[in-house]
Amino acid sequence: MIKLQNVSKSYMSPNGVFQAVAPASLHVEEGDVYGIIGFSGAGKSTLLRMVNLLEKPDDGKVYVDGQELTSLSKKDLRKARQSIGMIFQHFNLLNNRTVAGNVAFPLEVAGIGKEEREARVRECLEIVGLTEKINSYPSKLSGGQKQRVAIARALASRPKVLLCDEPTSALDPQTTRSILAFLKEINQNLGVTILLVTHEMNVVKEICNKVAVMENGHLVEKLSLSEKEIAPKTDIAKLLFEEEFTEKRGVIHV
Ligand SMILES: Nc1ncnc2c1ncn2[C@@H]1O[C@H](COP(=O)(O)OP(=O)(O)OP(=O)(O)O)[C@@H](O)[C@H]1O
């Protein structure tokens, strides 16, 4: 469903060129909830943002649902992006719009008519259990409710893929669990493939079936979590996994 082929990204820094992501390849299959974990600054968000070309890779190819995004015109890319939803750590809602207005926003941009928009807004707010907040403004919502609105907005275009950038990092543990439960439901009931960046191992453990570990801009290891024995090879993956799965120390923040 998502294929990254040798994508890389560098930025100019005061000390010269800084490689945020070294050539990386990743294959996310349809139905996966694929996690990307690593320390702060490892390049996780940059890698994620290259999937919908919010960050344009310097090199390499990006395929989503069989289409090479890196070869599309601006117009075709805009269209292709409609099948890729995205949610963020800080929700990124429009504060001057109601909940309904936020969820309707991508549909307005896509030129979908009023009646269809209103039906989709209701449908998506039902999925996240927020119908009663349809006319509220974001300032009146809790963090968890804001993230549910953001999920509803991401679902409005009926995407095949949902990109999640630290979706629960601004939330308390209980709210985190409920947001993760919504994401899992969306994956299982709507068949949406999820690629999720996190620094919290409990998030990976809770909903991912696969995980990639990033360190200093490199994708250093990929693991399937459906195996009985998880056998990480790199030091960083061992650090993350063995403590979590063997010693059962609970949440590790990296
Ligand atoms: N637009 C940019 N310009 C310059 N440097 C950038 C830019 N975006 C990211 N970087 C740098 O690239 C590196 C990787 O950043 P990225 O946000 O991808 O890491 P991350 O693993 O998601 O970390 P965090 O969890 O802290 O967000 C960091 O050192 C960051 O400062």
Give the model's pLDDT for residue 229: 80
Tokens of 143: 């963090």
Give the model's pLDDT for residue 16: 92
Q: Round to whole Å and give the CA distance between 246 and 244.
A: 6
Q: Could you read off the pLDDT of 136-175 as tens digits, one per residue?
A: 999 999 999 999 999 999 999 999 999 999 999 999 999 9
Report residue 170: phi and psi, to 5°. Answer: -95, 10
Mean pLDDT of 122-126: 96
Give the Å distance between the CA of 55 and the centre of ligand 1.
11
Q: Which of 46, 48, 166, 198 to mutate to test the pocket of ligand 1 (most atoms within 8 A of CB)?
A: 46
Give the Å distance between the CA of 8 and the centre of ligand 1.
13
249 pLDDT band, cuts 50/70/90, is: very low
Checking if the pLDDT of 30 tops 60, the result is yes
Protein residue whose Cα sits closest to atom 18 of ligand 1: 43
Q: Round to whole Å and give the CA distance between 127 and 185.
A: 9
Mean pLDDT of 11-35: 96
Nearest to 138 by CA among 87, 92, 86: 92
Count of CB atoms situated within 10 Å of the CB of 76: 12
Atom of ligand 1 nearest to the CA of 38: 21
Give the Å distance between the CA of 216 and the centre of ligand 1.
10
Q: What is the ipTM of this complex?
A: 0.95
250 pLDDT band, cuts 50/70/90, is: very low
Atom of ligand 1 nearest to the CA of 165: 22
Q: Could you read off the pLDDT of 173-225 as tens digits, one per residue?
A: 999 999 999 999 999 999 999 999 999 888 999 999 999 999 999 999 999 99
Residues lining ligand 1, Cβ inside 6 A? 11, 20, 38, 40-46, 199
Give the Å distance between the CA of 88 and the centre of ligand 1.
15
Give the Å distance between the CA of 53 and the centre of ligand 1.
15
Element (H, E) at 171: none
Give the model's pLDDT for residue 226: 85
Q: Could you read off the pLDDT of 69-116 as tens digits, one per residue?
A: 999 999 999 999 999 999 999 999 999 999 999 999 999 999 999 999
Atom of ligand 1 nearest to the CA of 42: 21
Atom of ligand 1 nearest to the CA of 46: 18
Is 198 in contact with 118 (CB distance < 8 Å)?
no
Nearest to 195 by CA among 16, 51, 14: 51
Give the model's pLDDT for residue 244: 55
Checking if the pLDDT of 231 tops 90, the result is no
Q: Round to whole Å and give the CA distance between 141 and 233.
A: 43
Q: Structure pTM? A: 0.92
Mean pLDDT of 34-56: 96
Checking if the pLDDT of 240 tops 90, the result is no
